[in-house]
Amino acid sequence: MPLFPGYLFVNIPLDNVFDVISTRGVVRIIGTDPFTPTPIPEKQVSDIKILVNNNVKLDPYKYLQSGTKIRVKTGPLMGIEGILLKRKANYRVVVSVDLLQRATAAEVCIADIEPID
């Protein structure tokens, strides 16, 4: 099941934008206009990669712009930054991709996180 259905992440030189947009099935490139892509910050991409590569349970989550910003300081998700969410008795870190206005949440131990000033 795709984490962000309908989106394909590419890392290409700007010279190759037309090759991507002309690929069958591609509707548009996210950015300021259809032929000028806007890069997703590397930190957001690396945080998503850590989540996906560590076999933690992921839940798609609504995009959040405000809340307590946190950093995971220990454990397999160390270094991830996101927004703290409490769901019933569990805590989650919500990691967002701002440009797509999409996010995902992973369960974390409250002892493994610290606030970001």
pLDDT averaged over every residue in the chain:
87
Count of domains observed in the chain: 1
Alpha carbon dihedral 94, 10, 32, 25, in 10-degree steps, equals: -110
**Other Cβ atoms within 10 Å of 91 Cβ, number:** 18
Q: What pLDDT does 35 receive?
A: 65
Report yes or no on 19 lying in a domain: no
Report yes or no on 46 lying in a domain: yes
- Percent of the chain at pLDDT above 90? 42
Say which DSSP state 115 is in. E
pLDDT tens per residue across span 30-77: 887 766 788 999 999 999 999 999 988 888 776 755 568 999 999 999
Q: What pLDDT does 78 receive?
A: 96
Residue 46 tokens read as 């690396």
Confidence of residue 102 (pLDDT cuts 50, 70, 90): very high
Distance separating alpha carbons of residues 104 and 80, to the nearest angstrom? 12
Q: What pLDDT does 65 receive?
A: 58
Q: What is the DSSP string of 51-108?
A: HHHTT--EEEE---SSS-EEEE-SSTTTT-EEEEEEETTEEEEEEEEGGGTEEEEEEE
Coil/strand/helix, residue 72? strand
Residue 45 tokens read as 């991409």
Q: What pLDDT does 32 receive?
A: 77
Is pTM beyond 0.85 here?
no
Report yes or no on 64 lying in a domain: yes
Owning domain of residue 60: 42-115
Report yes or no on 27 lying in a domain: no
Q: What pLDDT does 67 receive?
A: 67
